[in-house]
A and B are shown apart, each in its own frame.
Chain A
């Protein structure tokens, strides 16, 4: 079974609008971390935001927020006030405490911001 599922291969959003990128995960480990990365066309993977399984509040980092719904095992990324520079691939990832250093990545969502 897929550990991380991203069901939106491509998304479009108007500049200055908000967009939600979906991510669901599968784990039986009570301790885990959820991450979002951005990959522009240059190839580099840029860390955006982290949510721990025991965190009571949704994580926020500037224009990025993570809508964490633990019971539904979803960790959607919300980008507010989209900018042209937000156009990139976005990957959801999970790290389980019991699995040490291994990350599991989804297949990614390609976001295009339209002027």
Chain B
């Protein structure tokens, strides 16, 4: 148990489908993140939420839509994805504002777009 739980672990979806990824943490952290991990590339930061407010959106296409209803939950809504969006999507949480504080990651959702 990592403290950050992601569901589902695996997802296969067609390009016309709509699905959502869920992330939940009960560590008392106030910042949550979505990262995309593709083969042979550095982790790509997608979105950052501090105290439920989105503070960063790293030029992510609009087919990815984040939602943070409270400081413990984070969603990534997916629609009309492309095959190149297939990747491991990692959620993380941390204490905002502390440079010596690391992330706690979830186990990720392995997404395949067909």
Give A residues with C-beta under 8 Å from B.
Answer: 4, 31-33, 35, 37, 42-47, 50, 52, 91, 95-97, 100-108
Return chain A residues, CB-CB under 8 Å to B90.
Answer: 43, 45
Q: Which of B31, B48, B103 has its CB near the most chain A CB atoms (within 10 A)? A: B103
Count chain B residues whose beta carbon lies closer than 8 angstroms to a beta carbon of A.
Answer: 29
**CB pair B99 A97 closer than 8 Å:** yes
Q: Which of B2, B88, B94, B100 has its CB near the most chain A CB atoms (within 10 A)? A: B100
Partner of A42, one of B50, B92, B100, B107: B107
25 contacts between A and B (CB under 8 A): A31-B99, A32-B99, A43-B108, A43-B110, A44-B105, A44-B108, A45-B103, A47-B102, A50-B102, A52-B99, A52-B100, A95-B99, A95-B100, A97-B99, A100-B55, A100-B96, A101-B33, A101-B48, A101-B50, A101-B96, A103-B43, A103-B45, A103-B103, A104-B42, A107-B42
Closest 4 CB pairs of A and B: A45-B105, A43-B108, A97-B99, A44-B107
**CB pair B102 A35 closer than 8 Å:** yes
**CB pair A43 B43 closer than 8 Å:** no
CA distance A46 to B56 in the complex (A): 24
| Nearest chain A CB to B34 CB, angstrom units | 13
Return chain B residues, CB-CB under 8 Å to A108.
Answer: 42
Closest residue of chain B to A45, judged by CB? Answer: B105
CA distance A108 to B108 in the complex (A): 17
**CB pair A33 B99 closer than 8 Å:** yes
**CB pair A107 B45 closer than 8 Å:** no
| Nearest chain B CB to A102 CB, angstrom units | 6
**CB pair B108 A47 closer than 8 Å:** no
**CB pair B43 A105 closer than 8 Å:** yes
Closest residue of chain A to B44, judged by CB? Answer: A105
Return chain B residues, CB-CB under 8 Å to A91.
Answer: 43
Return chain A residues, CB-CB under 8 Å to B101.
Answer: 33
Q: Is B97 an interface residue (CB 8 A)?
A: yes
| Nearest chain B CB to A57 CB, angstrom units | 15
CA distance A97 to B96 in the complex (A): 11
Partner of A47, one of B88, B96, B97, B103: B103
